[in-house]
Amino acid sequence: MGNTGDGGCCRLALTDEDKEGRDLVVNWMKDLGLTVEIDAIGNIFGTWRVGAGAPVMTGSHIDTVRTGGIYDGNLGVIAGLEVIETLQSAGVEPKRPITVAVFTDEEGARFAPDMLGSLVYVGGLGLEAALDTKAIDGPRLGDELERIGYAGALPCPGATPHAFIEYHIEQGPVLEVENQQIGVVTGVQGISWQEIVIKGQSNHAGTTPMSMRHDPAYAASMIGVFLRELARSMGGNQVCTVGRIELVPNLINVVPKSATLTVDIRNTDEQLLQHAESTFQDFIERLASTEGVEITSRRLARFEPVVFDDGVLDVIERESTALGATSMRLPSGAGHDAQMLARVCPTGMIFTQSHKGLSHNPAEHTDADLLELGANVLLATMLAMANDEHLN
Ligand code: GLV
Ligand code: MN
Ligand code: MN
């Protein structure tokens, strides 16, 4: 189900591998006696129907990027099931139901935007628009959902949980460098995704004088260099990435006729993110005119920075300390389903370390004792939230 043979996982959203992974998780949910429901965007919910009122929800995603590791997303789903299994076998019944969610297409690597399933769940994107999203390999999201049998009956937007707590690997180096076991995640930085298309003049690589070129490959390279320099000059939390470049016709002796590339710009501060976006926009306008190419951009995702609920973070911190874990507060550099749930209910996230800060990479790794410690913090936090033992 996506094993790449090098320690990694390729389970792009709504592929056959995703279907197999979903089927496995649904079976695990049924083994625990959970009520399994699927909504119209393919999000899966396994609910332990104990107690009363709105459930405390946890969960994450099981889709991965093409060169993903095995922990990103999967950890939060498996740990959620483990929380329920542990409570059940200890004979502990919380006062509220507990739900484990598997959100559709968190990665956005096949269908943009990222966090698509949780965004639709909270009403941030209409169902029809989401179903009409086209994959990078062509198919329509709604058709893929039908094909793998996960176009469910529950309506979107969905019911508001009492609270949402997501457990995830950090995907960055901070906890390991700071020698802290648990991250109490204060929020998620803002994300701006664009697809840039550059059209120029295709011509012979040997005969076309440099002064007469209108070269999309050159313009794409200049964008990469500009973004690195922009992030360096802004400093702080500013990050910029060109993750995909496609040249047409992509041949050694042809000045390309077009380049398509993706630009990912993130910052924890909305004003600074807007500054980076507008500086980049000015740059591509100048570049188009100096190189004599046409540059168009299409927005693929835009999410403002999110701040998590202080009350939930206090509970995570308190329970970490009670378990003897060292912890620190930090923001998340990666996007997460929790940032969407934060729009509708008190939300927090728990991080565990990522060895060497590696993620979206088959070498992603976290030691088993740390994985377990974080799962125990999740359990204690969920139990406190489900029993309404909030701090404030
Ligand atoms: C999604 O997980 C992202 O941060 O790119
Ligand atoms: Mn993830
Ligand atoms: Mn990811």
pLDDT single digits (tens) 194-250: 999 999 999 999 999 999 999 999 999 999 999 999 999 999 999 999 999 999 999
Residue 335: CB within 6 Å of ligand 1?
yes
Hey, which residues does 256 pair with through a beta bridge? none
Report DSSP letters for 172-187, one per residue: SSHHHHHT-SEEEEEE
Average pLDDT over residues 335-349: 98
Within a 10 A sphere around the Cβ of 135, how many other Cβ atoms? 19
Average pLDDT in the chain:
97
Within a 10 A sphere around the Cβ of 293, how many other Cβ atoms? 22
d(CA 276, ligand 2 centre) in Å: 25
Determine the Cα–Cα distance for residues 311 and 366; give it in Å rounded to an integer: 28
Predicted local distance difference test score (pLDDT) of residue 196: 98
End-to-end CA distance of the chain: 43
Instruction: Give yes or no for a contact between 230 and 242, defined as CB atoms under 8 angstroms apart.
Output: no
Instruction: Check pLDDT > 90 for residue 80.
Output: yes
Ligand nearest to the CA of 333: 1
Determine the Cα–Cα distance for residues 30 and 113; give it in Å rounded to an integer: 30
Kindly indicate the confidence band of residue 392, based on its pLDDT and cuts at 50, 70 and 90: very low
Kindly indicate the confidence band of residue 35, based on its pLDDT and cuts at 50, 70 and 90: very high
Q: Is residue 11 within a helix (H) or strand (E), and if so which, with residue range? A: none
Determine the Cα–Cα distance for residues 147 and 229; give it in Å rounded to an integer: 44
Residue 334: CB within 6 Å of ligand 1?
yes
Helices H / strands E in the chain, number of each: 11, 15
Mapped onto helix, strand or coil, the DSSP state of residue 166 is strand
Quick one: tokens of 106? 């968190």
Percent of the chain with pLDDT over 70: 99
Q: Which atom of ligand 1 is nearest to the CA of 335?
A: 4
Amino acid found at 34: L
The per-residue pLDDT for range 160-172, each reduced to its tens digit, is: 999 999 999 999 9
- CB-based contacts of 260, cutoff 8 Å, min separation 6: 195, 196, 197, 198, 244, 245, 246, 248
Within a 10 A sphere around the Cβ of 163, how many other Cβ atoms? 27
Domains, in order of start, for the chain: 16-187+306-391 (3.40.630.10), 190-303 (3.30.70.360)
Tell how far CA 139 is from the center of its chain: 21
Query: Pairing relation of β-strands 163-169 and 56-60?
Result: parallel
Average pLDDT over residues 65-69: 97
Average pLDDT over residues 129-139: 97
Q: Look up tokens 């992509």; give the residue.
A: 250
**Between residues 391 and 222, which one has the greater pLDDT?**
222
Determine the Cα–Cα distance for residues 145 and 13; give it in Å rounded to an integer: 9
Ligand nearest to the CA of 266: 1
Instruction: Check pLDDT > 60 for residue 100.
Output: yes
Amino acid found at 298: R
Tell how far CA 8 is from the center of its chain: 17
Instruction: Check pLDDT > 80 for residue 4.
Output: yes
Q: Which atom of ligand 1 is nearest to the CA of 334?
A: 4
Protein residues placing their CB within 5 Å of the ion ligand 3: 72
Predicted local distance difference test score (pLDDT) of residue 390: 66
The reported pTM is: 0.94
Report the b/e string of 183-215 with b at 16+ CB within 10 A: bbbbbbbbbbbbbbebbbebbeeeebeeeebbb
Query: Pairing relation of β-strands 182-188 and 347-352?
Result: antiparallel
Instruction: Check pLDDT > 90 for residue 181.
Output: yes
- Residue from 171, 191, 244, 263 to probe ligand 1 pocket by mutation (most atoms less than 8 Å from CB): 191
Determine the Cα–Cα distance for residues 106 and 280; give it in Å rounded to an integer: 26
Average pLDDT over residues 30-59: 98
Instruction: Check pLDDT > 70 for residue 340.
Output: yes
The per-residue pLDDT for range 313-339, each reduced to its tens digit, is: 999 999 999 999 999 999 999 999 999
Within a 10 A sphere around the Cβ of 22, how many other Cβ atoms? 23
Instruction: Check pLDDT > 50 for residue 282.
Output: yes
Closest CA to 167 of 268, 306, 93, 56: 56
H helices of 107-251, in order, are 116-121, 127-131, 141-147, 174-178, 216-234
* Range of weakest confidence among 38-42, 116-120, 388-392: 388-392
d(CA 337, ligand 1 centre) in Å: 10
